[in-house]
Copies of this chain bind each other. A is one copy, B any other.
Amino acid sequence: MSAITVVLVDDHLVVRSGLKALLGTQPDIEVVAEASSGEEALTAVEGHAPDVVVMDLAMGPGMDGIEAIRKLRERNRKQAVLVFTTYDSDADIVRAVDAGAMGYLLKDAAPEEIFAAVRGAVQGKSVMSPPVASRLFQQLRNPDEVLTPREAELLSLLTEGLSNRELGQRLFISEATVKTHLAHIYAKLGVETRAAAIATAIRREGMR
């Protein structure tokens, strides 16, 4: 059996370099290409048809990781995508899985975890770091705390510092409705003020 082929996508050269060095120690894994942006990732995958794509989510300006994953799936190739990122935000996890990611690893993962994830991915196995898994589990247990699409939309605008009036104008709804949504959001996030909601959203939900 030939080696598992991998394409690396990360905007940081040191990370790609480190990942390549680590994966290079495994005889059954071969890094065939690297990319430093979502756009590059698309052409790299097109050109090398790898078994696995290891992808960072945050990649500076331009296409982000989530979008890249979605685009990769649209061109329905059969490669598996592993997310490899620094933060374990609820929003990112859900969006990545939704976009079609096979696994979700954090950058402080042990080498064995990474190897296992790559090998698992080609067999259709989903591997994720323990903190990530526990977050997903948490969401399944407490569906009451999951924001509705409209609420998430509002929260996202909230993190830009808008007032209720501005939120209403932006979403074409009355200020009263904005306040209703906010009250629900606060309850779900477990906070009592918009300031705390913003802090929670940016830190925990990864809404940056």
Contacts and interface: CB of A to CB of B under 8 A. Distances in A.
Interface of A: 11-22, 60, 86, 107-111, 158-163, 191, 193-200, 202-203, 208
B200 A161 contact: yes
Given A21-B18, A200-B161, A202-B199, A13 B191 contact: no
Contact of A22 (B14, B191, B198): B14
Contacts of A162: 195
Contacts of A60: 108
- Determine which residue in A110, A111, A158, A202 has the highest number of CB atoms from chain B within 10 A of its CB, and name it: A202
B107 A161 contact: no
Given A199-B198, A199-B202, A202-B202, A163 B14 contact: no
Contacts of A110: 13
Given A161-B193, A161-B198, A161-B199, 8 more contacts: A12-B18, A12-B108, A14-B22, A14-B107, A86-B86, A158-B195, A160-B199, A202-B208
A195 B110 CA distance: 38
A11 B195 contact: no
16 contacts: A12-B15, A14-B15, A17-B17, A17-B19, A17-B22, A18-B19, A18-B21, A86-B86, A160-B199, A161-B195, A161-B196, A161-B197, A161-B198, A198-B198, A202-B202, A202-B203
Contacts of A107: 12, 14-15
A23 to B, nearest CB: 10
A107 to B, nearest CB: 5
A194 B88 CA distance: 26
- What are the 10 closest A-B residue pairs judged by CB atoms, nearest first? A161-B196, A18-B18, A17-B18, A14-B18, A161-B199, A161-B195, A12-B107, A21-B21, A202-B202, A198-B198
B22 A161 contact: no
A158 B198 CA distance: 11
